[in-house]
Amino acid sequence: MINSKYELIIKDIKKDINTGKFDVDEKISSENQLATKYGVSRQTVRKAIGQLIDEGYLYAKHGSGTYVAERVMKKRHSKNIAVVSTYMSDYIFPRVIQGINQVLDENGYSILLKTTNNSRKGEAWCMEELLSKNIDGMLIEPSQSAISCQHQVLYDQMDAMGIPYVFIQGCYEAMMDRPYVMIDDVEGGMLITEHLIKLGHRNIAGIFKADDTQGILRHKGYVKALAAAGIPYDPDLVVWYHTKDKTMKPMEGLLRILESGRPCHAVVCYNDEIAADVIKGLQNIGRSVPHDISVTGFDNSLLAYSKGITTIAHPQEELGKKAAETLLGLIDKRISKKEAHVLLEPILVERNSCF
């Protein structure tokens, strides 16, 4: 919350610097120009500029003006870690946060938490806001990670400022060389599909999320399992959906498959939430799960437990702990960026949604 125009001036200039609008050693607007722009006195502008100079964002040249400083390293250890998540719901992330918080608390760090609602614009806004604060590192669950990142300049800015960061649960394809901690989604997709094949299913539909890398990778595992079993891949048995249409398109796509008359007796779902919706939708049209159609999920959430869904265990707290440990290792320089690539092993959890 911005409480004064003085604070707004500071926030806006930090944002312009952090997003690369200004280059190092570039002159910013004059005091008179800033005073006119924000409708304040030159004294207020001078006070804001003074604070930015103290924080290392700017430097002054006598008789010339104010310029952007080269902020290569953080000024001091704040013991603050920023955590950016797509959602803060009761599905997965609270237990991830528990793991993160346990490790950070043991090491004397505090959490600054932001959520993006799986919006790339929201992610950029959160990062801009956090980069205006004094943080020692960042844990980021990328938003719509299968789509090209339009704000990579912010990650480059963190690199330049010496602020380590770790991607969690997903990673932008163009930044797979950056640190990450994720479950092995390809292996998980293979494991759950192989389970259905071992039960005797061959006509297996798939429902996958198109705008997150988890969906792309789980689909890749599904394809690999079919190929290993000698089952031809049928794109007409695959339903793709985006975040914005997750409440309707998965079931609509499956209904189209069933209404087409194509044989289909099993469905691999992107996650437990989609699996639960599919089970409800199938029951509404008189189909029995698992006797008519077997359904699987992914994540082993409380939803999977309550609905009896066969799924892949998501090591939520372990992932959070490992992500925090990896970030602290980068901060303390105990590990290098090249070593900070962690894939956690998926585990099959059998329940009664498959037959």
Domains and CATH numbers, the chain: 5-68 (1.10.10.10), 80-184+316-346 (3.40.50.2300), 185-314 (3.40.50.2300)
Cα distance between residue 352 and residue 233, in whole Å: 26
The CA–CA distances, whole Å, from 123 to 67, 119, 326 equal 28, 6, 21
Cα distance between residue 175 and residue 151, in whole Å: 12
Q: Strands across the sheet with 180-183, in order?
A: 110-115, 80-85, 137-140, 165-168, 180-183, 341-344
The pTM score is 0.83
Cα distance between residue 324 and residue 117, in whole Å: 22
Instruction: Provide the pLDDT for residue 56.
Output: 83
String of DSSP letters for 271-331? SHHHHHHHHHHHHHTT--TTTT-EEE-SB--HHHHHHT-BEEE--HHHHHHHHHHHHHHHH
Q: What angle do CA 312, 140, 346 make, to 5 degrees?
A: 15
Q: Is 300 left (phi over 0), alpha (psi -120 to 50) or beta?
A: left
Instruction: Provide the pLDDT for residue 71.
Output: 65
Residues of the chain scoring pLDDT < 50: 1-2, 73-75
Instruction: Provide the pLDDT for residue 3.
Output: 56
* Chain position carrying tokens 């996958």: 208
pLDDT in tens, 129-145: 898 788 999 999 999 99
Sign of the torsion angle spanned by Cα atoms 238, 242, 247, 252: negative
Instruction: Provide the pLDDT for residue 22.
Output: 87
Phi (first) and psi of residue 241, to 5 degrees: -145, 160
With contact defined as beta carbons under 8 Å apart, do 191 and 181 qualify? no
Instruction: Provide the pLDDT for residue 73.
Output: 45
Alpha helices in the chain (DSSP H): 5-18, 31-38, 42-54, 93-106, 120-131, 152-161, 185-198, 213-228, 249-259, 272-284, 302-307, 316-331
Instruction: Provide the pLDDT for residue 342.
Output: 97
The CA–CA distances, whole Å, from 208 to 18, 31, 39, 241, 254 equal 35, 53, 51, 7, 12
